[in-house]
Chains A and B, each alone.
Chain A
Amino acid sequence: MKNLTNIPLSLFPNIITNKDVSIFIREIDDFIIKIFESRDSLEEKINDSFSENKSKIILKILKDFEIDINNISRLNDFFGFLKNSILQWPTLSIELSEELPRKVIRRISDWFIVNNDKRVILDIKINRKMLGGVSLYVDGKYYDYSLRKKINEMIYRGNLNLSNLLSNN
């Protein structure tokens, strides 16, 4: 059996927002209760408790760390450790003007992998006054890249033009 190290976010490509994290933690809590409930095999319990994709990843991690899947105590320790790892995953708070489809959110998440060499959990809040664009909270600072800000700046400069507004920066 190997020593446990922090389990990286990159192992779970489908966890992209803080809502996904909340669901995953709830699934882990349910599973920990189930460990002691029935006599079904623990592998079955894992498959029942998590989505197919997550189950596969969890079983692979257990195998990599050489954790005996039938050892209830070790399994309990592992999921406690996994929860702690999840709470340490990097998070970025962003504001959007409206709810966007998951595929768009995924692409936003992917943008960070490509452009920032780093996966982050997106903590998304909706602010309809923004009209479009994005606002970011980084290290306690607020960065406003919203469409409303752009409009206000154009009006202030006296060159408001809708075609300019939606054009590239």
Chain B
Amino acid sequence: MSNYMMMEIFQNVFISIAFVGNFIFLLLNLILMFISLSGIKKINKTHNKFIEDYMSKLDKADFKVRKIIDNTLDKSKYIIDDLSFRSEDIQKQVNKNMAKLVDKASLEFEQFILKLNKDADKQTKDMVMNMINNAQKELFNFIKQLKTETVSTKQEFANKLQNEFDKVVSDVYEYREKQLSLVEKSINRIIIKVVESVLSEGISVSEHERLITESLEKAKREEVFK
């Protein structure tokens, strides 16, 4: 058998194997597709059932909640009504008790005032007597004190008068000094003006020169130009 024939046989066998392989692969894909489709259908079914159950539970819960709210409202209304009734009752009771207490207190107060009036008569008499006695004592003390103070006031008055006199003398002296100082200043001002007018007209050039030279010599003695 030649090599060529051998190669042709080998080629045919290879093609056959490839064909069978492809067929098997296709078949497997079909099976997988079928399995997937049936799985999806099953999931959908499960999901729908879950939604239905959930909705049903929600409806039930909603119903229960409404019922609870209604019950609560009914109970609240009953409690409020009951409370209103009771408060009215309590109010009436309190008013009744208050009236009783006021009546009792009024009676006691009336009795107390009557007793107080009786005591007051006696106390007033005592108080007036005390006041008269005290006034007499104070008047006596005042007269006594007045007699002693008159003597000391004379001395005090004399002292004050002396102080005032001293102060006036001091003020007069101060005023005199002040006035004298003012007069002195005025006199000095007049003197300066007179001297100014006399000197400004009366000093000759040579007199000026002499004054300047003397001033410079004085400055030299005082070491101004050192």
Q: Does B28 sit at the interface, judged by CB under 8 A?
A: no
Given A132-B211, A162-B195, A101–B205 Cβ distance below 8 Å? yes
Interface of A is mostly: mixed
Determine whether the beta carbon of B220 is less than 8 Å from that of A145: no
Whole-angstrom CA separation of A168 from B188 in the bound complex: 23
Question: Which partner residue on chain A sits nearest B216 by CB separation?
Answer: A111
Chain A 158-169 interface 0/1 with B at a Cβ cutoff of 8 Å (1 = within): 001010011011
Determine whether the beta carbon of B198 is less than 8 Å from that of A162: yes
Q: Does A104 sit at the interface, judged by CB under 8 A?
A: yes
Contact residue among A107, A108, A134, A155 (Cβ-Cβ distance under 8 Å from B188):
A155
Q: Does B224 sit at the interface, judged by CB under 8 A?
A: yes
Determine whether the beta carbon of B225 is less than 8 Å from that of A169: no
Question: Which partner residue on chain A sits nearest B217 by CB separation?
Answer: A115
Q: Does B215 sit at the interface, judged by CB under 8 A?
A: yes
Q: Chain A residues near B200: list those with CB within 8 A.
A: 128, 131
Give the A interface residue count (CB, 8 A).
Answer: 32
Contact residue among A131, A134, A136 (Cβ-Cβ distance under 8 Å from B196):
A131
B: interface residue count bin: 20 to 34
Q: Chain B residues near A133: list those with CB within 8 A.
A: 211-212, 214-215
Determine whether the beta carbon of B213 is less than 8 Å from that of A111: yes
Q: Chain B residues near A165: list those with CB within 8 A.
A: 195
Q: Does A138 sit at the interface, judged by CB under 8 A?
A: yes
Whole-angstrom CA separation of A107 from B222 in the bound complex: 21
Q: Does A82 sit at the interface, judged by CB under 8 A?
A: no
B-contacting residues of A (Cβ < 8 Å)?
Answer: 96-98, 100-101, 104, 107-108, 111, 115-116, 128, 131-134, 136, 138, 143, 145-148, 151-152, 155, 160, 162, 165-166, 168-169
